[in-house]
Amino acid sequence: EAQVTQNPRYLITVTGKKLTVTCSQNMNHEYMSWYRQDPGLGLRQIYYSMNVEVTDKGDVPEGYKVSRKEKRNFPLILESPSPNQTSLYFCASSLSKLTSGGNEQFFGPGTRLTVL
């Protein structure tokens, strides 16, 4: 089954304790990205990756890191989480824009993070 998986689905942590949210897709997609969802703001892009070893900042990258060592995986790293990073996080993947401009993005199930 084609899917994007994220782990963990729920996480409660404390300020300053490093954490990683994993994201994996099995569709051989080149493009992957992370979004955060906050009430009234919709989803905003944090980071994206056009392909392996190619990553770039989205609209709200402060406080986050990513890596893309393999095509299928795109972990989101919070080196020193703060309460303002409490949010619902979504990983997404799609074919690159070079293959189809309007291709659908597939979203993971979401990770609800609470930073105390």
Partner 1 sequence: AQKVTQAQTEISVVEKEDVTLDCVYETRDTTYYLFWYKQPPSGELVFLIRRNSFDEQNEISGRYSWNFQKSTSSFNFTITASQVVDSAVYFCALRDPWQAAGNKLTFGGGTRVLVKP
Residues lying near partner 1 in the complex (CB under 8 A) are found at 31, 33, 35, 40-45, 48, 50, 56, 58, 88, 90, 92, 94, 96-97, 101-105, 107, 109-110, 112
Nearer to partner 1, 36 or 81 (CB): 36
Q: Say whether 73 sits in a helix, a strand or coil.
A: strand
Nearer to partner 1, 7 or 14 (CB): 7
CB of 60 to partner 1, least distance (A): 12
CB of 64 to partner 1, least distance (A): 15
Q: Say whether 108 sits in a helix, a strand or coil.
A: coil
CB of 15 to partner 1, least distance (A): 24
CA 106/CA 116 separation, integer angstroms? 30
CB of 34 to partner 1, least distance (A): 11
- Residue 68 has which token pair? 């893309």
Nearer to partner 1, 9 or 17 (CB): 9
Which sign does the torsion angle of CA 80, 83, 84, 85 carry?
positive
Nearest to 33 by CA among 42, 43, 41, 20: 43
